Amino acid sequence: MGLKKYENYSPSELSKGTMQRLNNACAMIQEEKITIFDEPFSGLDPVQMKLLENVMVEFHKKEKGIYIISSHDIECLQNVCDKCLLLHNGQIREINTEEVDREKIAKILSEGE
């Protein structure tokens, strides 16, 4: 995750993006069957987002754990998820991951308004 150079830093000395990478790394090294991420891509630049996507996919394959990711970053979700659920008005809808895009989600969210 590119954090080695920060090993002697206090968390208060880290930027928001670096702190986010540290939090994500801490979540992934736990030996849990299920890990929940809340906006893991927030505050990351495009290079770090792609790195996190790759790490999540590889770690998931290796550890066989389940990640539950809450995120507004639809593109990243497409790249790391094998199942997408949309929560809207108290209802959960499963959406085919290959079909997830901003327009489709906007249409679903605007239905019934």
In this predicted model, what pLDDT tens digit does every residue of 62-113 receive, in sequence order? 777 788 999 988 888 888 888 888 888 888 888 877 777 778 788 877 875 5
Question: Can you give the pTM of this predicted structure?
Answer: 0.77
Q: Residue 112: left if φ>0, alpha if ψ -120 to 50, beta else—which one?
A: left
Strand partners, 92: 87
In this predicted model, what pLDDT tens digit does every residue of 6-52 receive, in sequence order? 989 998 899 888 999 899 988 888 878 888 999 999 989 999 999 99
Distance CA 95, CA 109 (A): 13
Mode of pairing for the β-strands spanning 66-70 and 34-38: parallel
Distance CA 81, CA 79 (A): 6
Query: Does the domain spanning 13-82 belong to CATH 3.40.50.300?
Result: yes
Task: Give start-end residues of each CATH 3.40.50.300 domain in the chain.
Answer: 13-82
Which pLDDT value is given to residue 39? 94
Which pLDDT value is given to residue 32? 81
Cα–Cα distances in angstroms (integers) from residue 108 to residues 10, 59, 66, 74, 81, in the given order: 43, 32, 26, 14, 19
